[in-house]
Structure 1
Amino acid sequence: MMMARPAIEALIREAFPDADVIVTEVAGTGRHCGARIVSQVFLGKSRIEQHQMIYDALKGKITDMVQALVLETAVPKSYLQGKDQ
């Protein structure tokens, strides 16, 4: 079985090829991870919609590997220039 961090990163990169993705182990156990995903596809989406997109990308494939996943999603700053955010 793949370790959680590489598996999460691979699935997210597959779904969002343009994204900057950083996946870290939060508790050092390998079962608690955090992911920061920055992608233009999040533009105009609520935080809930953004996170749902990530969970859809993970396709339920990591449930046996990860106990907790903390998500941080964002739109690249270059896409926000000139907007009030």
Structure 2
Amino acid sequence: MALDKGVILELLRKAFDGAEIELVDYAGDNDHYELKIKHKSFEGMSRLRQHKMVYSALGRYVGNELHAISIKSSAG
């Protein structure tokens, strides 16, 4: 199973209102993505904590419909 890019963007926009988000399906299979996300809530957080927040926003899809996602996060 694969996960449509639109679903991922919707989940991220809901969790990180006003974030700058760039999502690329780098394998062209709706299963392997590269995410760049910049949001003010990441200020002062470790990279690990930022990524945990992203994974939390994606919920049950991670490891299931969403096979792989590379995350580059920063504070906005």
Q: Distance in 2 between matches of 1:30 and 1:58?
A: 15
Farther off after superposition, 56-65 or 18-27: 56-65
Question: Where do 5+ consecutive residues of structure 2 fail to align?
Answer: none
Question: Where do 5+ consecutive residues of structure 1 fail to align?
Answer: 77-85
Specify the alignment match of 1:74 in structure 2: 74
Q: Secondary structure at the match of 1:44?
A: coil
Identical positions, percent: 29
CA distances 1:42-81 after superposition (whole Å, capped 9, x unpaired)? 00000000000001111113543221111110112xxxxx
TM-score, length-normalised on structure 2? 0.87
Q: Which amino acid aligns with 2:16?
A: F
Compute the RMSD of aligned alpha carbons: 1.8
Aligned 8 A contact 1:25 1:34 in 2: yes
Q: Distance in 1 between matches of 2:68 and 2:15?
A: 20
Q: Secondary structure at the match of 2:48?
A: helix
Alpha-carbon spacing, 1:24–1:9, altered in 2? closer, same or farther (3 Å): same
Shift of 1:2: 8.1
In the TM superposition, 1:1-85 aligns within 5 A as: 3-76=3-76
Larger RCO, structures 1/2 (Cα 8 Å, 6+ apart) = 2
